Every structure is written in structure tokens, then in C-alpha cells.
Structure 1
């Protein structure tokens, strides 16, 4: 039998390290090829006193053992970030792989439901939590195939396979998963267990969580089948039962739900700059593969199996709904805005109101089979929701997973419009005082504390964080306002999901304890002493610093010998103008009440401060857009604190350094305001004219240094 690309295990057995036998081509080829003679090695923790022979068929105990390929190639590394991103992309799987590997997986259908561990999930972090994937009505267990590579880096991933001809009841499936959960919890009581389920699998996860409130479970539910009684599926059960061979009715429809809209995918490629020839070729291959996809679907969901799965989903929905009150597990619900099978968006809101520790994320353009959509990245979603932890509690430092080169590239390209509009100029200073264009002057080794001016609405953040990662391979972890992370109560503030990108890029809520932990871990930390008072400043307050009177951060930086890098950013006055500010809004009763209502939803900072610094209320100023100018960043000479811990323990000495840093930030702003006057490409038209002549990917010059 051809290999399935996975190791299969009966319920109760634990998959250990699994090595892939995919023959990887060189990074320059841009392809990942399958070796038709591939073999695998699987190591399990089953106790045995004698050697077990390898086989390429299912033995009686339902386990598939495959030998390792002798010519397995190691992943090649490229020092260039963009090349690494392209290399990572080449190892990702697609919908085509789902159908190809499904053919192999369903060929041997004997035995009960069982667990398998994808072979590409062989290298993961220490103490990785266990993730159990519970499939939807297809039952194959490959629903996460496009996510295997990234999930396998941070999870111990097992997937449940339900054979096509298996007729295990829903309660039987619950008991199967429950046995595994309790066994693994007993084996590693301090390791959380993730249950990731879609539709039917989501009901299964809820049922197991309701029956096991003493186990540390985290649920990730995609388009949960708890809404089955409100869907269009239930009325179809008797109809399909009457039709002898409803192949033309069901399979093309299900296929369209899985593959999505190929035209939309094509247009997305065009807008992302994918070469037209490549885009057309991929579209043609997709269309040509549809007949083979239908054939596999016919094997995965024959008439009797489809009817059984729909009845199973109906009972699963009733079972889970009757036990929602007992679910205490932390839950993340992912819903599709274009789910044509279930009313998933509405169901997510219903479950959010019923489950005590529940968050939701909406994927507006996705269909029912959420995890097979090309634009859905489960790891990024988990990290953005602060949902990844390896212990009993989430730790902003040890549990943070920084973006891979491929994920960073996608994030970086999503802010292309801002870079094109502002064409950022970045300058940095070496320790000898030499100023250079670019970030070469920034320290490469931490701990480093970047202290600067917060531009209106924080518009400077995306180019700053992106360029640090791109040019220096540094994740700068920003200290951000608590309202981006948690709320005292629900209300009129934007949902925290809108700030997921802040968490993906390493942002943490403002806290002296977290700053201490970041510096102790030698991180690069971004700090704005002016906070929201600068980011939501009033009319005419551009580039004015609002720092507290008391010295902050200096002694903590000295404790760990952190370098302090002062910096300034200007350009907001050429981009936006405040015309209706906080003071104006507080004079209007209904707007004042609105701002007060907002403030009741989040934890305030600097309540003890008096004067302007204490006015940190969140509000949206009235803004007048301008024809885009240019953003300028200037990082001053690093200030060394190494060896000054004892001296800076004195409050007066620490305050002197605090004022020195503030003065250096102001000097950076003044330097940029003066120098930009001599920039011939300060405004958009001149930059566009330059790029039309020299190419739109060319770097636009600026003033002389």
C-alpha cells in the first residue's frame, strides 16, 4: 500500500517522534515532490519485550508502521529572510494534498477509529502541549493538513481518523476521546490538552470538556455543529435517504464548500503581486483536478456513510447542547462568514454568551471547511488570541511564539499600503555617533529598550516593527495599553480581535512586572512614556512630549544592563490633522458620556498622575486627511547602562538619566523636522515620479546626511 503520509495509532497509544520521508527539493526549485517509494519510521511508547517487524499494511491492532527513508534530506537554510519565507512556503500542503493523502488513508478501512500523527510534525518545542484534532463529517482526519507544518512546530499533534465504514455512535466517540484525554493527562498532568474540532468534531470537543471539568482542556471550535437544528442539513436527511444515488446532488456541492471560490483565490494572487503566468497556471491545475477530487469524495462519503454522518451530527448537536452548562474549559470559537451549511457566525455569538471563558474570531470570507482555506493560519490565530500556553497559565514571555519568516512576510505585505503612502525613511546611530540610513546602528544583542515619541494613532508602529524584523531579524516587543488585551466588561470598544496583530508581533500590556521579565530575557522592548496621551493628542500638539514627572524605566534598564535607544518619528502632520479633539468632545454632553462609557471597559493607566499626563482616556479624534507626506524615523545614539546599576539606584541619578533620555528624544524630533525640509521627495507626487522612472520597487532617496 502506498504510504498515507502519516502514522496511525489505536486510541490510547502515544505517538512519539515521527520523521518525514518526503524528498525535499532544493529551495531554488520552489517545489515539494513526493517520493513514490517513501517509507517512514514510527516510534511509540507501547511496552514490548520483543522487536516488532515493520509492515506496510494495517496489522490487527490497527497501527500502521512504516520505515524511514534512507535518503531523507534535511531542510536547507538560507540566511536571507525572504528566501526563508519562500522555502517555508514550499513545505506547506494544500487542498490537493488533502485528496491525495485521503486516497491512501481510506484504502485500509478496517478497525475502529484511531489516532495518527502527521509525519511533518516531527520537530516541536520543548514541553509542547498535546493537540487532538477531531474531524468533521468527512472523518478522514486530514482537515488540518494545510496547518500541519506550522502546528507541528509548537504542538504534539494527533489526529482522529474515523474509517469510512465505521459506525461508532457519538457516545462511543466521546468515550474514545475521553480515554485518550484522561490517559495523557495522567501521563503529563501539568501539560494542557487542546481539542480542535470542526462541525461534528466541535460537538465532540464540547462533550468531552463537559464530562471532564477537572482536566486542563482548551477548546478550538471551527463552525461548531451545535447549530445543526438551525441549518439546511437536517431537512435534507430524509430527502437523501430516498434518492438511490444522489452523487450529482451532494458531492459537487460539498466539493465547492471545500475548495472555495477559485476565482477569488486567483484575484487574491493578482493583488498580492503573484506573476500572472503562475496565477493562471495554478488556476488551470485547480480546475483540471476537480474530477479526481470528486472521485475521492465519492470514496470518503459514499451514500450510506453520508447519511450516517448526518444522523451522527444530529445526535452530536443534541448531546453537546444539553451539556453546555457543564463546559468550563477555555474556548476559542472560529466562525466562517460564508458558511453555506451551518449558521456559524450566529452560533459563535450564541456560544460566546453561554460559555464562561470564551472568545470568538470571525473569518468573513471563508466557507464551511475553514481549516482548508488558503488564507486561514491557525497558529497565527492562536498566538493572536493569546491562546497558546504550555502550563497552567498564559505567560507573555515564555509562551510567546514569534512569527516565522513566512508568516512575517504575509504580515509585512498586509501593510504595503501604508509603506507606499509614507515611504518611510529610517536612520540610526552607531555608538561612535555616526548616522546611517537604515537600522545598522541598532544593537543586535539585547536587552535593549527603545524609548520614543508615539505618533498620532500609533501609525508609526507597522513600519517600525516590520523593518526591525526584516533588516535586523529582531522582534521588538511593544508595551501597549491594556485595552488591547482585556476588558473589564463588554461594551462599545472594538473587539480585542482587532488587536490580534499586536499580540502576534509580541505586544504585551503595560506592566512593570512584564517589563522586568522582558529585560531579564534580553528582549528588545519598545516603550512610549507618553502613552495614549501622545497617540491621541490634541490640536496643535504634534511632536510634543507628555512624559510623567517621576522617572520611569531607568533603574530597571540599569538592573539588567540594557541599552536605551532614544528615537523620534515625524510625518503625522503631513498625513493627518486633528480638527476635533478630546477637549472639544468633552464639551458635548453625549460625546462626554460616550468617552466615559468607553473608560469603564478598560483598566486605566497612570491614574495617580496629575495634569495632562493623567488624561489617558481612549477616544477617536476628528481627523482631516492630507495628501500623504513621508514618515521619518531617527534612532539616536544608544545610551549604555551596563555597570551603572549601583549609581542609578540613587533616585536623583536615575532622574537625571531619565531627563537625558527625554532630551535625546526631543533632539531626534528636532533633527528630523529640520532635515525633512531639504528632502526633495517629501511628498507623494515627487516619489511617484521617481519610482515611475526608476521602478516601483526602488528605494526613494531622501536628504543628505
Structure 2
């Protein structure tokens, strides 16, 4: 018999249901009383070209020997216009349980452009699968086991497709404000965004962006991405400006941004089995959806719909937080991710605070 039809939200394609609130782990975490510098990394060869991958080594529980502590692996995937450094603080907290790897998608951060010059969502998905296979195969404890996959924005959407394509590689999935398909343009982008689909317009956008000073680009990014820009430490702003200056010297940097945006919009036009909402309803790994209620880039109203669409989904909504919860609210995000990992292996910890954080 055919599956009974369910009411579907016209904007998202997801059924308007409820999802369990995420549990927050009570595991001890190291204090983030200082701003850690970006983790070191290196260029690694993949099938689509060279990508830069940073490594956050496992630390174990703070103040304990940690001989019997869980030691798993995690891969972090940044969003549009971001880089592996977006995960510096969260990876430091999750190092109590995870050996962490964070990649720069092709053309972003310190990664080279893709070998074939394509910035499609499908290409980014292939890159994440490539790095995920590499992380899982690294020698040492947890070698050969599935990896915890975390993605933000564009990286969240790519991670969703990765988890659907290769569930054997994914122990759990965390989606931080993923760029799920919507069929109206967010006001912050203006009505000119769909013009990127027209021939020649991405090149024009690149030329205009090239004339914006790095400091102004960072200010604009912070205003768009953070619920409260005052939460950004001065050190992080200085690092972001330095990254923008570094990217200004890369001839492919602006092309990666505009063409990846174009690829993202194009992916929204997929229907049938290739539609991201349909893919979400078939996900196998346990999934955590994290969203800030001040997200200006992706509508927070999509959060409960996505968490409800995923078969084993749970939701963490963060008060006063914007599009990049891993940067703006790393501790509650880390506690929800750790609880997801604990539950995935059947560990029952003492129930922590409810998953509505401030």
C-alpha cells in the first residue's frame, strides 16, 4: 500500500510536526576563558584536488587521565564564505571526546580550487565524502569506525547529502543552520540574489566584491551571521580580517564564493528523490539540528520542521543566537553534540538542562 500522505509545508517541503528537544550532556568541558588560536593543518590530496584540513587532537576529559574515556572522530564542514577556522572553539570543547578534523571546502580558506573548476553542491558533497573516508581510515584508535559529521549552512546541506549517500561513514550528524531549500529569498540577501543564475552575473558580482576592503567585509559578515555581534572577541575579528586579506591574494577566492552560491541556488531546483527535504526524511544516522532564533540567513522556522522530518532527529534552539552557533554559542552546542554521541552508543548520562539555551 502507498504511504499515507502527510500535510506538507509549502515553503520547505517538510511536514509541520514536532521533534524531541536535544539533551545536553553534563560531561566536564575545558574552560574557554582564553581564545585559542586556529588549529594547525595541511594540504591533502583528494580526487577533486588539494584541500586544506586542520586537526584538533583528542584531549580526553579535563583533569582526568582519560585512559578509558571514549575516543571517537569528528569532521567539521564550514558554510558559504567560511573556513575551517569557524570550528576552532567548538572543536576545542569536543576534544574531550573527539579527534577532530575541519576542512576548507575547495576554493575556500587555504584550499585550492576544484580541479574541474565546478563549485556545484554535488562537488562539495564529493569532497566531504573524500575527506570523511580519509579520516575514517587514519591509523590509531577508532580507525575504521564511522565518524561524527558536523556541518554549518552550505556545509550543513552538503553534510546532509553525505550522510544519506554514505551512512556507513557517519556515526551521527549535526546540522547547524543548514541551508535547506526555501522558495523565497531571505530579505538580508535582497531580491538580486537569483540574478546569480544568469550568465555573466557571477563575474560581475566578483568584480564588485573585489572592491570591498577586508575590514568592511568582516563587519558585514558579523552583522549578518551573529545574533549579537558584541559576543565576537576582538581576537576573532582580527583573525577574520587577516583571513580576508589572505583570500584577497587568491585569484579564485571570489569565484568560489559566487559560484558556490550559484550552485546552492541551483540545488534548490531539484525535485523528486534529489530534493533535500525528501533526503532528510530518509536519513539513517541520529541527527541533531542546531539553530539560533536570530538567524538572518536561514529562517529559524525551518528548524523544527527539519528536526521533525529526520527519523531520529532532535532539536536545539538557541536564544539570541544567529547563523553560526558553533562560533556564538560553542558550549551549549558542544553539550548537545556530546549527548548525541553518548546516546548513539547507548550511554545514559544524567539528564542535563533543557535544550532551550540562552
TM-score, normalized by length of structure 1? 0.36
1:367 and 2:310 are equivalent in the alignment: no
Partners of 1:286 and 1:333 lie apart in 2 by 25
Do the aligned residues in 2 keep the contact of 1:196 with 1:220 (CA within 8 Å)? Answer: yes
1:238 and 2:195 are equivalent in the alignment: yes
Partners of 1:205 and 1:371 lie apart in 2 by 16
What is the correspondence of 1:200-599 to structure 2 with a 5 Å cutoff? 200-215=154-169, 217-232=171-186, 233=189, 235-238=192-195, 241=202, 242-243=204-205, 244-246=207-209, 247-248=211-212, 251=217, 252-258=219-225, 261-262=228-229, 264-265=230-231, 295=245, 298=248, 302-317=253-268, 318=270, 319=274, 320-343=276-299, 345-373=300-328, 376-383=331-338, 386-389=339-342, 393-396=345-348, 400=349, 497=355
Q: Which residue of 1 aligns with 2:113?
A: 166
Which of structures 1 and 2 has the larger relative contact order (alpha carbons within 8 angstroms, sep 6+)?
A: 2
Do the aligned residues in 2 keep the contact of 1:174 with 1:208 (CA within 8 Å)? Answer: yes
Distance 1:117 1:203, change over 3 A: same
- Matched position secondary structure for 1:218: strand
Do the aligned residues in 2 keep the contact of 1:132 with 1:157 (CA within 8 Å)? Answer: yes
Partners of 1:388 and 1:163 lie apart in 2 by 28
Q: How many residues align?
A: 290
**Gapped regions of structure 1 (runs ≥ 5):** 1-83, 267-281, 401-476, 486-495, 502-705
Partners of 1:202 and 1:224 lie apart in 2 by 4
| CA displacement at 1:294 relative to structure 2 | 5.5
- Matched position secondary structure for 2:175: strand
Which of these residues, 123, 144, 150, is aligned with residue 93 of structure 2?
150
| CA displacement at 1:92 relative to structure 2 | 3.9
Distance 1:176 1:309, change over 3 A: closer
Q: Which residue of 2 aligns with 1:132?
A: 75
- Matched position secondary structure for 1:208: helix
What CA deviation, in whole Å up to 9, does each residue of 1:330-370 have, x standing for no partner? 11000111111111x11112212311111111112111122
- Matched position secondary structure for 2:320: coil
Partners of 1:200 and 1:330 lie apart in 2 by 20
What CA deviation, in whole Å up to 9, does each residue of 1:543-591 have, x standing for no partner? xxxxxxxxxxxxxxxxxxxxxxxxxxxxxxxxxxxxxxxxxxxxxxxxx
Q: Which runs of 4+ in 1 moved over 6 A?
A: 285-291
Do the aligned residues in 2 keep the contact of 1:231 with 1:342 (CA within 8 Å)? Answer: no
**Gapped regions of structure 2 (runs ≥ 5):** 1-27, 61-65
Q: RMSD in angstroms over aligned alpha carbons?
A: 4.2
Do the aligned residues in 1 keep the contact of 2:177 with 2:291 (CA within 8 Å)? Answer: yes
Do the aligned residues in 1 keep the contact of 2:42 with 2:54 (CA within 8 Å)? Answer: no
| CA displacement at 1:162 relative to structure 2 | 2.3
Distance 1:150 1:198, change over 3 A: same
TM-score, normalized by length of structure 2? 0.65
Partners of 1:286 and 1:219 lie apart in 2 by 27
1:123 and 2:66 are equivalent in the alignment: no
| CA displacement at 1:327 relative to structure 2 | 1.2
Partners of 2:283 and 2:226 lie apart in 1 by 33
